[in-house]
Amino acid sequence: MLRLLPLLLLALAPSLPAQPNLVKNGDFQTSALVPWVQTGSGYNPKVEQFDVTGLGATYCFGVQVDKTHVVLTQKVPVTPGIPFLFEADLAGDHPYSHTNGDGGRWEIFVAGTKIDSGSFGSLTGFQTKRVHVCRTFLPTKGGQVDLEIHIYRNYNTSGVRNYVDNVRLSLITYPALCIREERKIGTTVTLQAEGTPMAAWLALVAPISHPTGIYFPGVSGSLRLVPAPLLVLTAGTLGNAGTDQKKLPLPADTALVGVSLFFQGVQADKTSALSLGSLHHYPLVK
């Protein structure tokens, strides 16, 4: 597969529009909630500004969490048996000096099926934890279905506030690459690949993304990276569940804070064509 990559980069191929975000107002930059529908109250739920990603404050949805599931719901179009990718940035913030044992939890549902869940764990005084949720799934129902984001904690209301931003749902080709942890310089994060079981895969990285994507005959997906500065980052084999993980050390260089790094996966197996996966944008934070 590695020998095929230079042929892809040298091929002459047309550029076509990349897959759109099927979620409306996923970044809340209208400063309003519509078309999201909120159920469950929590405490003081609203669209506000907060630094959810570590790159600066932007509009997002925030709520002080308790046992009540605060649910954001929106209708999205999906097709059965076609792979989709869900992404969102979440943050749990504790603006007080004591430690809180439950910094908030989340569950993601599509058409009533849970596709992801997790928690921030405990939060120390004045601590903010951030996570990038990214999960592939194959819908079993089609048409306009409910996308639901549940936010809650297992105890009554406290000072903990949770935030949601940059919600995205898109059609994809495999493999998808995910870094869930906050990408702090000088730390080691986990790069997870999701795709076809037992396929060989590799991760490409570049500082520049292609605005529309470059398509190649006989290849699924499109190259979403500008070829000239493109590098092969790591490689492996997806397991029986179609997943693999690699540890990725991040340089301890403050000059890299906020620098955009674009990741894209490539996979190949014995039964299907070479496939270029979805584009992922992972800037580093301090």
Run of H or E including 5: helix 5-10
Mean pLDDT of 158-168: 94
- Mind listing the pLDDT tens digit for each residue in 235-279? 999 999 999 999 999 989 999 888 888 999 999 987 777 999 989
**Together in a domain, 26 and 167:** yes
- CB-CB contact of 87 with 136 (8 Å): no
| CATH number for the domain that contains residue 192 | 2.20.130.20
- CB-CB contact of 194 with 176 (8 Å): yes
| CATH number for the domain that contains residue 116 | 2.60.120.260
Q: How far is CA 122 from CA 93, 94, 202, in A?
A: 10, 10, 35
pLDDT at residue 18 in the model: 56
Backbone angle region of 54, left / alpha / beta, with phi > 0 → left and psi within -120 to 50 → alpha: left
Mean pLDDT of 170-182: 93
Domain extent, residue 195, equals 1-19+173-286
Q: How far is CA 70 from CA 66, 120, 143, 257, in A?
A: 9, 16, 25, 33
- Of the pLDDT bands very low, low, confident and very high (cuts 50, 70, 90), residue 16 is very low
**Together in a domain, 99 and 3:** no
Which DSSP string do the residues of 55-120 spell out, in sequence order?
S--EEEEEEE--SS-EEEEEEEEE-TTS-EEEEEEEEEE--SSS-BS---EEEEEETTEEEEEEE-
**13-17, 76-80, 140-144, 263-267: lowest mean pLDDT where?**
13-17
Residue 256's SS3 state is helix
Maximum distance among all alpha carbons in the chain?
60
**Together in a domain, 135 and 209:** no
Share of the chain above pLDDT 90, in %: 74
- Res 9 pLDDT > 80: no
How far, in Å, CA of 193 to CA of 239, rounded? Answer: 10
Mean pLDDT of 212-232: 89
- CB-CB contact of 278 with 178 (8 Å): no
Mean pLDDT of the chain: 90
What total number of domains does the chain contain? 2
**Together in a domain, 64 and 118:** yes
Residue 216's SS3 state is coil
pLDDT at residue 11 in the model: 38
Mean pLDDT of 164-185: 94
**Together in a domain, 258 and 231:** yes
| Terminal-residue alpha carbon distance, the chain | 35
- Of the pLDDT bands very low, low, confident and very high (cuts 50, 70, 90), residue 25 is very high
Mean pLDDT of 29-58: 95
- Beta-bridged to residue 62, according to DSSP, are 46, 163
**Together in a domain, 158 and 182:** no
Mean pLDDT of 69-93: 96
- Of the pLDDT bands very low, low, confident and very high (cuts 50, 70, 90), residue 4 is very low
- Mind listing the pLDDT tens digit for each residue in 95-117? 999 999 999 999 999 999 999 99
What residue has token string 């996308």?
A: 147
pLDDT at residue 2 in the model: 40
- Res 15 pLDDT > 70: no
- Of the pLDDT bands very low, low, confident and very high (cuts 50, 70, 90), residue 12 is very low
Share of the chain above pLDDT 70, in %: 93
- List of long-range contacts for 223-229, beta carbons under 8 Å, 24+ apart: 223/8, 223/9, 223/264, 223/276, 224/18, 224/262, 224/264, 224/276, 224/278, 224/279, 225/262, 225/264, 225/279, 227/9
